[in-house]
Every structure is written in C-alpha cells, then in structure tokens.
Structure 1
C-alpha cells in the first residue's frame, strides 16, 4: 500500500497508540507491550515503529537491543499488522534501522505451527530458526492463544546479508542429509474446534523439532507445498 506511513515512535502519545493497537490484535489478554515500557525503552535506544493510513494505526513493531552468541542484535519482541503487506514493510524498516545502528542480526519468536508465519519468515524474508523454545511465554490468556502452550521458534535474520528481498531459495525440496518435519494445515481452526487434538499435534512437532534443534539442526526452508519445515545440520 503506497499510502502507508511508517514513523519511529518517540512520544508518550505515540507509545500509547502502539500499545492500544497491540491490544486490539491480542484481545482479552495482558498487554503485550505497555505504553510506559515502550516509552522508557525507546528513550534508551530501543526500536518502535508505527504504520498508519490516514492517521489510523495498521501496524506496529517494538523491539529491544541485546546480545546473542556475541553478536549485537535487535530482538523484535512484538510485530503486528492488520493490512496485507504492512508486515513486510515493517520488517524492511527493521532491517534498515538495524543496518544504520550497527546491529548484526534481528531475532524474534513465532509459533512453528502457523504455516503462514513460517512462509513469511523463511521464504519471504529468508530468515532461519536456530532454537526451539518450549512454552516460552507460559500459559497465554489472549483470544488467539487461549488454552494452548506457547512453544516458539527463535528466528535469526542476518543483517550482514541484508536479506530484505524474497528468498525463493527457501521454498524447495529437502536435499541430501536434510530432515523434513510436517506442520498442520490450520492449527488455529483445530485449536478452536478440538483443543485436545491441537495439543497432541503440538507435542508431536515439539518432540521432533526439539530433539533436532538441541543437537545442532536449524530450520532453513519450507517444502514447495508449504506443508513441512526443512532442517539442515550446522557445521
């Protein structure tokens, strides 16, 4: 969308607007990023951007600086968009900001069972996943995640390679020595209709991914039909 305006957040007014936007996305749960935390973090060098159309929020992202494996990182704690294409624009803005601020990589967490998020992260962005984090946030109370456990993949997006374009190389068949792990077609619908079955599927995928990633495997791609994750062994 050409009429989307992205602005870096620096005022209490904008921090409140971002916090309220997140609240509309994760309904019925705790604040994912309270406005006072956003404002305090930005004051000491954190990242926060709001995407607007005609002054109305359609996307936002909040992240903090940190260190991981001796690299300077921007950890994107929460990103959301309600208009198609805005999420990709925000990630490109993150990459530009990270480059200008001497950041080595951008990291974030996401649910490994949501296929569209896997496609976005591995294929559109060209990120990889380097850790499996079981029930990372504990029990969540928002309407999206209610009743499920918060297993997450830890995504790693190298700033050095400046991967801001679509990475079709990450949509491929598994090669020799690689492992394929299937993920469900629609875990969100399954969770709403049959929570017990959804939890069984999650545990099955957890057992496979956790065993592999704890021994040096990384998620690097998806199969062309988008049904499965492809893992490669690190050197």
Structure 2
C-alpha cells in the first residue's frame, strides 16, 4: 500500500492501495456488510467475484491503519451506457470510527489510478439525491459533477440515484474546494424541492440530513417526489450538479449550472 501524492500527507499515517489477497478481500467484504448493516438476507459481496474484477478491468482498493487494520474499501468495474465508456465505482465504505478523516478521498484517488492504468478516462458512480453529505463529497470535495437522474435505480421504490461523472484526466487538486457563491436569500424547509434561479446558477434546496430514526425522517422522505421531479427537469434542460452546500442545520442546497463541465 502507498500514499497518493495528489492527496498530500495521509492523515494519521493511513495507507491506501489495491487489495489483492483473499484475506484482504474477505476483510473488505466484512467491512462492507458491517457498515451497510446488511443482514443475512441482504445483498452479498462475493470475495471470488472481487478477485475476478481485480484481474479483468475492475478495482478493489482499501485504506489501512499503520497497524494493518482495514478501515476503508471501494470496488468498481468497466462500464458503458451504450455511448460512453467509464470505470463504474459500485460502492465505497468507511469504518464509522474513521469517517471524516479523508478515507473516502483516498479510496477514490486509488480507484482513479487503477482506472487510468486500465485506459479509462472517466469514472461514474451513483448516490441517493437526498444524502446531502454524499453530494457535497462528490461535487465539492472531489470535483465531480452530477449528470443524470435514474429513477428507481435498483428496481425498487425510493432508490432514485443521481449519476456522478468524474474526469480522470484532470489533476484532482485543481478541483477541490472550489468556491461557491451563496444562494439568493434565506432558504428553508418550505423551499425543499423547489428550483430557485440565482446569479451562480439554479439552486435546489433539500433537507440537510437523512438519518435512520430521525424524528423528522417522514417529513424528509416526503420531499422525495418533489426532488425527483425537479432533478428530472434540471437534467433534461441541460444542467449539471456542481455543488451541494449545507445552509443550516435543516437545509442544504444543490447548485446546478448549464453544460457538462467540472470548471468552478
């Protein structure tokens, strides 16, 4: 395992890189199930499949402590939508104890290296559009953009996903922490799911958190149809999502701009 130069010094001496041994892939599978809290009947992650992916255009990467404890894992595979080729990152998981310590960024940087080695020039993945924290990481931390909405992505209700695209040929350091102009006026729960034009682009406010057991979760989930409709209209009109910022304890907001670009 190694540190990625573009990431700067790895916090806490964390080391990242490809996972190749059966033991490492087994530990990755265990971490995946523990973090996502999948039960016996939940989605399985086959260790042999991960080994096959690694040898055939895919990625299996991890982040470890100096003592060798696996605290982050991501995997992906070659993908196409019929017109474009890309490396598709299916999942990235971080041990809850190490969240907020740049493990997710290290995972994505190592996936980027592997995808470039396989000859790919872009990476895609998906996320729930109501997860503002994930959106902020994807757009504001990595510099990727949201290019489309796929309704009921996994064939089940409430599995809408925003498709993210990341330009692998650009130095990630040029895309991190891009400044974003503030949205117009004060936005709150009454604005959730309502596109609001501003000087920087079109803002789409959403609930700032979506947590299991949150007493507001029913209200938060109620915004899903409005957010789905707004996202569909914005993407159909040629906009891409370039940022998602927290406005206060209750509300976050996407920023949409015209054209598929990662420029700030």
TM-score by length of 2: 0.76
**Where do 5+ consecutive residues of structure 1 fail to align?**
140-147
In 1, Cα distance between equivalents of 2:140 and 2:216: 30
Q: SS where residue 187 of structure 1 aligns?
A: coil
Q: Is 2:37 the partner of 1:42? A: no
Is the alpha carbon distance of 1:16 and 1:67 closer, same or farther for their aligned partners in structure 2, counting shifts above 3 Å?
Answer: same
2:45 alignment counterpart:
33
Residue 132 of structure 1 deviates from its aligned partner by: 0.8
RMSD value, Cα: 2.4
CA contact (8 A) 1:134 1:151 kept: yes
Figure out how many residues of one structure are paired with residues of the other and give that number.
Answer: 226
1:130 alignment counterpart:
147
2:164 alignment counterpart:
155
In 1, Cα distance between equivalents of 2:73 and 2:134: 16
Moved more, 150-159 or 64-73: 64-73
In 2, Cα distance between equivalents of 1:120 and 1:214: 24
Matching of residues 44-123 of structure 1 within 5 Å: 44-53=56-65, 54-68=67-81, 70-82=83-95, 83=98, 84-123=101-140
CA contact (8 A) 1:15 1:35 kept: yes
TM-score by length of 1: 0.85
**Where do 5+ consecutive residues of structure 2 fail to align?**
1-10, 184-197
In 2, Cα distance between equivalents of 1:170 and 1:157: 18
Moved more, 62-71 or 206-215: 62-71
Q: SS where residue 221 of structure 1 aligns?
A: strand
Q: SS where residue 7 of structure 1 aligns?
A: strand
Q: SS where residue 19 of structure 1 aligns?
A: helix
Matching of residues 183-202 of structure 1 within 5 Å: 183-188=206-211, 192-202=214-224
Is the alpha carbon distance of 1:164 and 1:108 closer, same or farther for their aligned partners in structure 2, counting shifts above 3 Å?
Answer: farther
Is the alpha carbon distance of 1:31 and 1:12 closer, same or farther for their aligned partners in structure 2, counting shifts above 3 Å?
Answer: farther
Q: SS where residue 31 of structure 1 aligns?
A: coil
Residue 234 of structure 1 deviates from its aligned partner by: 2.3
Is the alpha carbon distance of 1:138 and 1:94 closer, same or farther for their aligned partners in structure 2, counting shifts above 3 Å?
Answer: same
Is the alpha carbon distance of 1:169 and 1:5 closer, same or farther for their aligned partners in structure 2, counting shifts above 3 Å?
Answer: closer
Residue 79 of structure 1 deviates from its aligned partner by: 0.4
Is the alpha carbon distance of 1:219 and 1:183 closer, same or farther for their aligned partners in structure 2, counting shifts above 3 Å?
Answer: same
2:177 alignment counterpart:
168
Residue 72 of structure 1 deviates from its aligned partner by: 3.1
Residue 151 of structure 1 deviates from its aligned partner by: 1.6
1:179 alignment counterpart:
202
In 2, Cα distance between equivalents of 1:45 and 1:220: 28
Residue 71 of structure 1 deviates from its aligned partner by: 3.8
Q: SS where residue 193 of structure 1 aligns?
A: coil
